[in-house]
Structure formats: structure tokens, C-alpha cells
């Protein structure tokens, strides 16, 4: 998320009750997760395992829970609970604003776009030309939709990321990491009925041009999907996955977080994808392997009872 205007680091330190260490001559321009940061961004780290990754990232400002050597050109905000400090900033710069009507006055809707009865369009939503939004679609604030997009009934765009920090010492153990990202839908996309596409924690969840989603598909926070992909019903993709152009996922494929599926890959139905896949190949199984290899394994496994019988006869 980018701030409306640049923010002074001294104000940030005061606001989150942190000690400021390092450079003070530049201003913060946004807030972002570590895998999406750019210069000027604020990020946070609260586990020593990830200190080095965060300190070496493009983030200019880092909220951290321990005094460490500050890299040149960076600013550290040292506080007891970076997670809560980060959430406080998100709530300040992207507060929840209730709606009092089904289509917000701040929404921009293009020429020849049809909004069917019962659809909800939130604040600062942009919808392009010649789109069709079917009944009971919910489009959360700050979502951007291109031209010639069809969204079928009951789909939800822009719900919060499923992202929590566990606090075992408390009765209510999970703290929510507030989401301030967006959902971006490019031109010529069609989204089936009952789909859920979550916004990024701080960046964007993106559906590329010409991609088609069947009914009941779930896309997790911060996932980036390329152009002309095809996902059948009940596909589920965890957060921060990257699906390149022309990928086909058949029904009930499950995709793990933080991985890449290469261009043109095809994954057969009911497969599980735990790690990145090379493009241009066909996959099957759970965990997936190349389909021909997996089919041979299944055929061989059917022979095991007979082999066992011969061994023991």
C-alpha cells in the first residue's frame, strides 16, 4: 500500500512508540510485506531467523524488536511488538469505512457496464467498460476491475487475507494482520459463481488478462495469476503463489503458498501442488509428479498384491 503523501519517520516512531535508529533524512512512502517491498516502504520483522532477509531487502524502514546494526541508508524502528505496530499503521492509513448504500458514491463504473440487483460495490472501486456484475457479487473497497469482465453471482472480491499471529499465552490466541492490499482484475476475465479472491496483505492479488475461473475457486492473498489461465471448479490457491500465463488447473487442485507454477503447465484434477512446477509439462497426483510418471507408479502399485502373493507362495 502506498501512502497518500510521504510520511516523516519521526512521526512514525512517535505513533508506534518506537526508538528511531539510522537515517532520518528520507520519508516513508508506503507499507509492504517483505517479499514485495520497494525503496521508501516500511516493513517489519519480529523473529531473528528473518532479520537478515529483512535488513537486506529493498525496504527503507524496518520495524524490529531488537537493536541491531543498521545498514547504511535504512531506518529502524525498535519496539517490543513489531506485528502490533505494523497493524496500528495499517489501521491508521487504511481505516475501515462503513458503507451506507449498495454502490458507493466513490466507485467509478465504466460505460455499458451492467450492475445487477443485490451487487455491492465498495468505496474507491474502479470497474471498466462493458462489464457484467451478476446479483449478490460483493466487491470490497479499492478493488480494480478492467474492461469486458464478467463476475457471476455470489462471488466475493477483496476479503481480508487469512493471516494471523499466534499468541499462545492468551485465551484468544490469534491476532489478525490487517489487510491493506487490493484485488486487481485485468481485461477479459470471467469469474464463476461463488468464488472468493482475497486482497493482498499489503500488495495486490492479481488476475491476468483473459483468465477464466470456474465456480467455487479460492485465490489466496497476494497471489499473482498470469494471462489466459483456466481454473476448474474448487481449485484452491494459497497466499503469495505465482501462476504464470496459460496454466490450466483442473477441478479440486490444491496449490501451496509461496511457489511458482510455470507457463503452460497443466495439473490434472484432485492433485496437490506442494512446491514449484516447471512450465510446459502435465502433472498429476498428490504430491504431483509428471503425469506419465505418476500413472506408471499407480499401475505398478496395483501389481503389488500379486507380487507379494508370489513371494510368499
Give the pLDDT score at 13: 96
Give the pLDDT score at 87: 95
Q: What is 2-93's CATH number?
A: 3.40.1390.10
Q: Is the pLDDT reported for residue 26 higher than 80?
A: yes
Average pLDDT over residues 98-120: 97
CA-to-CA separations, 227 to 141, 146, 167, in angstroms, rounded: 24, 13, 40
CA distance linking residue 161 with residue 181, whole number of Å = 9
Give the pLDDT score at 23: 87
- Among candidates 186, 188, 183, 244, which has minimal Cα distance to 218? 183
pLDDT tens-digit readout, 42-59: 999 998 999 999 999 999
pLDDT tens-digit readout, 195-218: 999 999 999 999 999 999 999 999
Q: Superfamily for 108-296?
A: Hexapeptide repeat proteins (2.160.10.10)
Give the pLDDT score at 270: 96
Here the contacts of 15-20 (C-beta below 8 Å, separation 24 or greater) are: 15/88, 15/89, 15/92, 16/63, 16/77, 16/79, 16/85, 16/88, 16/89, 17/79, 17/85, 18/63, 18/77, 18/78, 18/79, 18/85, 19/67, 19/77, 19/78, 19/79, 20/75, 20/76, 20/77
Confidence tier at 297 by pLDDT (50, 70, 90): confident
Checking DSSP bridges between strand 75-78 and strand 108-109, what pairing results, if any? unpaired
Average pLDDT over residues 97-120: 97
Entry pTM: 0.91
Active site residues: 221
What phi and psi, each to the nearest 5 degrees, are found at residue 89? -65, -45
Place of cell 487475507: 161
- The domain limits of the chain are 2-93, 108-296
Confidence tier at 34 by pLDDT (50, 70, 90): confident
CA distance linking residue 84 with residue 77, whole number of Å = 13
Quote the distance between the C-alpha of residue 39 and its chain's center.
Answer: 21
Give the pLDDT score at 182: 96
pLDDT tens-digit readout, 219-278: 999 999 999 999 999 999 999 999 999 999 999 999 999 999 999 999 999 999 999 999
Q: Are 181 and 219 in contact (CB under 8 A)?
A: no
Q: Write the DSSP assignment of 261-293 as a string of letters.
A: E-TT-EE-TT-EE-S-B-TT-EEETTTTEEHHH
Q: Is the pLDDT reported for residue 146 higher than 90?
A: yes
State the CB neighbour count (10 A cutoff) for residue 22.
17
Amino acid at each position: 500500500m502506498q501512502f497518500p503523501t510521504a510520511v516523516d519517520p519521526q512521526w512514525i516512531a512517535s505513533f508506534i512508540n518506537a526508538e528511531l535508529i539510522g537515517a532520518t533524512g528520507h520519508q516513508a512512502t508506503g507499507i509492504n510485506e517483505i517479499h514485495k517491498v520497494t525503496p521508501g516502504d516500511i516493513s517489519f520483522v519480529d523473529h531473528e531467523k528473518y532479520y537478515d532477509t529483512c535488513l537486506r531487502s529493498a525496504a527503507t524502514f524496518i520495524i524490529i524488536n531488537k537493536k541491531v546494526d543498521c545498514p547504511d541508508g535504512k531506518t529502524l524502528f525498535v519496539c517490543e511488538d513489531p506485528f502490533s505496530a505494523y497493524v496500528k499503521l495499517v489501521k491508521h492509513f487504511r481505516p475501515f469505512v462503513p458503507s451506507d448504500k449498495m454502490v458507493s458514491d466513490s466507485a467509478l463504473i465504466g460505460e455499458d457496464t451492467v450492475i445487477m440487483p443485490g451487487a455491492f460495490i465498495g468505496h474507491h472501486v474502479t470497474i471498466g467498460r462493458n462489464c457484467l456484475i451478476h446479483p449478490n457479487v460483493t466487491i470490497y473497497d479499492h478493488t480494480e476491475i478492467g474492461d469486458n469482465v464478467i463476475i457471476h453471482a455470489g462471488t466475493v472480491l477483496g476479503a481480508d487475507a487469512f493471516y494471523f499471529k499466534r499468541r499462545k499465552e492468551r485465551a484468544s490466541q490469534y491476532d489478525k494482520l490487517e489487510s491493506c492490499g487490493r484485488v486487481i482484475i485485468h481485461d477479459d476475465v470471467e469469474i464463476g459463481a461463488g468464488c472468493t479472491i482475497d486482497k493482498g496483505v499489503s500488495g495486490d492479488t492479481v488476475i491476468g488478462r483473459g483468465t477464466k475461473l470456474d465456480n467455487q475457486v479460492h485465490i489466496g492473498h497476494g497471489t499473482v495469476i498470469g494471462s489466459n489461465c483456466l481454473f476448474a471448479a474448487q481449485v484452491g490457491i494459497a497466499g503469495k503463489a505465482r501462476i504464470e500465463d496459460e496454466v490450466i488447473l483442473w477441478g479440486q487442485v490444491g496449490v501451496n503458498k509461496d511457489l511458482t507454477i510455470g507457463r503452460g503447465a497443466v495439473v490434472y484434477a484432485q492433485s496437490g501442488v506442494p512446491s514449484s512446477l516447471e512450465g510446459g509439462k502435465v502433472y498429476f497426483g498428490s504430491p504431483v509428479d509428471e503425469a506419465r510418471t505418476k500413472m506408471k507408479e499407480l499401475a505398478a502399485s496395483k501389481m503389488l498384491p500379486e507380487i507379494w502373493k508370489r513371494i510368499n507362495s
